[in-house]
Amino acid sequence: MSDDNTHSHPHKEVQHERSPYASHVRAMEALLVEKGVLTEPEIQDRIAYMESRSPANGAMLVARAWTDPKFKQRLLSDAKSAARELGLDPTHEAELIVVENTPEVHNLIVCTLCSCYPRAVLGRPPDWYKSFEYRSRAVREPRAVMREFGFEPPEGVEVAVYDSTADVRYMVLPMRPPGTEGMDEEDLAALVTRDALIGVSVPRPTAPAS
């Protein structure tokens, strides 16, 4: 096989078709601009804001809580205010509650009725979180569900299942892994996965491979 990057056979240009859903969204955006409801920059700012929300925000909150006991208490008592301290914008009418894992209790988050989720700090929910199977089994057999994610709390550890609603959203504050005492906040945040923030898993002592 040749390593020559100047091979002569032509490539067919790939055409990306816009989905009907995307076309409808774009048409709505154009109508909002035409009617003067929003400007194009305002729409783009909103899109950028939506895309900026990800599990990395939740991981940042956890890392700060692991290194700052006072911040941890503020996070547990008033999660939205604590999030704003780090420049996050958890604007939503629903309350945000952070529940702490301990050696005695492991927390698991679910929304049995639909897929309520703290998007401001975790971004979009994964497909499995929205599935009927997870929503039904997380309450009935939480240990079996976690086992399928490669984790199960030790015997004797209570599993507390929190059911999100339209009024209340939850995020897990996992326990800090042993052997991470010398790590800074950025490295600690790299240990915190979305699954750990939901409770189906826990942070590992080393960052997951990219």
Helix (H) or strand (E) holding 95: strand 95-100
Structure tokens at 74: 């503020």
The neighbour count for residue 123, using CB atoms within 10 Å, is 19
* Sign for the pseudo-dihedral over CA of 74, 51, 116, 199: negative
Residue 2: pLDDT above 60? no
Look at residue 53 in the predicted model and tell me its pLDDT.
57
Q: Is 52 a catalytic residue?
A: no
Q: Mean pLDDT, to the nearest integer, of 30-35? A: 74
pLDDT digits (tens, 9 = 90+) for 46-102: 544 555 458 999 999 999 999 999 999 999 999 999 999 999 988 778 999 999 999
Look at residue 204 in the predicted model and tell me its pLDDT.
85
Structure tokens at 111: 């929304």
With CA atoms as reference, report the closest residue to 99 among 135, 70, 61, 67.
61
Active-site pick, 23, 52, 77, 114: 114
Q: pTM for this structure?
A: 0.76
The pLDDT mean for the chain works out to 84
Which residue do the tokens 């790590």 mark?
183
| Lowest-confidence region among 1-5, 27-31, 121-125 | 1-5
Q: Is 115 a catalytic residue?
A: yes
Q: Is 114 a catalytic residue?
A: yes
Active-site pick, 116, 131, 136, 201: 116
Identity of the residue numbered 105: V
Phi-psi region of 2 (alpha: psi -120 to 50; beta: other; left: phi over 0): beta
Active-site pick, 115, 131, 136, 201: 115
Active-site pick, 111, 131, 164, 201: 111
Cα-only R_g, the chain: 21
Look at residue 104 in the predicted model and tell me its pLDDT.
98
Terminal-residue alpha carbon distance, the chain: 29
The rounded distance, in Å, linking the Cα atoms of 21 and 78 is: 38
Q: Is 131 a catalytic residue?
A: no
Look at residue 90 in the predicted model and tell me its pLDDT.
80
Look at residue 31 in the predicted model and tell me its pLDDT.
74
Cα–Cα distances in Å, from 85 out to 62, 65, 68, 88, 171?
13, 12, 13, 7, 17
Look at residue 19 in the predicted model and tell me its pLDDT.
46
Q: Mean pLDDT, to the nearest integer, of 135-140? A: 96
Look at residue 198 in the predicted model and tell me its pLDDT.
98
Residue 145: pLDDT above 90? yes
**Which of residues 81 and 210 earns the better pLDDT score?**
81
Residue 209: pLDDT above 90? no
Residue 169: pLDDT above 90? yes
